[in-house]
Amino acid sequence: MGAIIDGKQLSLRLKGEMADEVKALDAKYGRVPSLAVILVGENPASQSYVRGKIKAAEEVGIKSELITMPADTTEEVLLAEIDRLNADKDIDGVLVQLPLPKHIDEERVIDAIAFEKDVDGFHPANVANLWLGKPCIVPCTPKGVMQMIAECGFSVAGKKAVVVGRSNIVGKPMVKLLLDANATVTIAHSRTQNLAEVCREADILVAAVGRKHLITADMVKPGAIVIDVGVNRDPETGKLCGDVDTASAKEVASFITPVPGGVGPMTITMLMKNTIECYLNRINK
Ligand code: GUN
């Protein structure tokens, strides 16, 4: 039976280390890193994510500001708020929680965030730099996944990795990070033929689709490391569940991440790392 990779525990350790780092940075530079989070509307899942981000910032000693805006906020008003935060020299990170209400163009909003304050790593300049192998802010979820894989002592170089899901936020950057770690990477998605067969080839299987229990035990290669990025609500129980049927897949995998308590906490923890990185980049500019 495979070992569970406890993202909550790993996050606690990393946040503890960052709290010490922030204290030292404050002593050296006379201020702590600061993060502004904008939430538009009242999507309950977004409210919960944002609460988690603000709480993590408190734990690490990062100054945070939560800006809530009503669901009918115009794009113009949101862009003006981003401009204000971009210009504020005391703010190191700006994050706009996604998804945005339908009348707002998400791409325009992401483009408006100063790329040096783009703690999500979603701005086209950061995306381009990631793919060009230049210094950049790496999106939090795939960054957290790499940290979890490293934590298991699982060596990635030369192994076969399959990423199921091709989103800009997770799937695509995940592919690049695995490639950078010298894995042989396949990207699979909803139109992939023989998905089970493709997945069974994977030494490292990352599921990031958003479909409850899409990955079953028969799709897992014995001894594989299985990373479940999915966050789904089970319609029967109302509980959170992932893209992987963990109960059966853990019998086959060597390591597996749970939902909740796996990738989710690590994403938030990596946001803290990215905020510190933006702070240091701005100080050293
Ligand atoms: N919505 C879901 N995941 C994310 C994320 O990582 N960042 C932002 N800004 N919004 C999200």
Residue with tokens 């794009």: 75
Q: What does residue 165 show for φ and ψ, rounded to 5 degrees?
A: 125, 135
Q: Which regions of the chain carry the CATH code 3.40.50.10860?
A: 29-117
- Fold of the domain built from segment(s) 140-264: Rossmann fold (3.40.50)
140 touches ligand 1 (CB under 6 Å): yes
Residue 258 has a pLDDT of 98
Q: What span, in angstroms and rounded, lies between the C-alpha atoms of 44 and 239? A: 14
H or E element: which one contains 86? helix 75-87
Residue 54 has a pLDDT of 98
Distance of CA 174 to the CA centre of its chain: 10
Strands (E) across 154-267 are located at: 160-164, 184-188, 204-207, 225-228, 232-233, 240-241, 255-256
Q: What span, in angstroms and rounded, lies between the C-alpha atoms of 269 and 285? A: 24
Residue 143 has a pLDDT of 98
Q: What span, in angstroms and rounded, lies between the C-alpha atoms of 99 and 79? A: 15
Q: 43, 97, 268: which to mutate for ligand 1, most atoms within 8 A of CB?
A: 97
Residue 1 has a pLDDT of 85
Residue 266 has a pLDDT of 98
Q: Which regions of the chain carry the CATH code 3.40.50.720?
A: 140-264
95 touches ligand 1 (CB under 6 Å): yes
Q: Read off the amino acid at residue 39.
A: L
Please tell me whether the overall predicted TM-score, pTM, comes out greater than 0.95 for this model. yes
Distance of CA 1 to the CA centre of its chain: 27
Angle at 265 between CA 264 and CA 266, to 5 degrees: 90
CB atoms within 10 A of CB 55: 12
Residue 88 among the catalytic residues:
no
Residue 147 among the catalytic residues:
no
Q: What span, in angstroms and rounded, lies between the C-alpha atoms of 70 and 82? A: 15
Out of 92, 118, 120, 243, which one is annotated catalytic? 120
Residue 120 among the catalytic residues:
yes
Q: 46, 143, 169: which to mutate for ligand 1, most atoms within 8 A of CB?
A: 169
Q: What are the pLDDT digits (tens) for 208-227? A: 999 999 999 999 999 999 99
Residue ranges, the chain, pLDDT below 70:
none
Can you list the pairs that 194-203 forms with residues at least 24 positions away whose Cβ atoms lie under 8 Å?
Answer: 195/164, 195/219, 198/162, 199/162, 199/164, 201/160, 201/162, 202/160, 202/161, 202/162, 203/159, 203/160, 203/161
Q: Measured between alpha carbons, how far is residue 211 from residues 191, 204, 228, 240 in Å?
A: 14, 19, 11, 12
Residue 285 has a pLDDT of 87
Q: What does residue 243 show for φ and ψ, rounded to 5 degrees?
A: -85, -10
Q: Is the peptide bond before 260 cis (omega within 30 degrees of 0)?
A: yes
Residue 267 has a pLDDT of 98
Residue 36 has a pLDDT of 99
Do 69 and 81 meet the contact criterion of CB atoms below 8 Å apart? yes
Torsional sign, CA 76, 77, 79, 83: positive
Q: What span, in angstroms and rounded, lies between the C-alpha atoms of 267 and 271? A: 6
Statement: 29-117 belongs to CATH 3.60.150.10: no
* Nearest ligand 1 atom to alpha carbon 271: 6
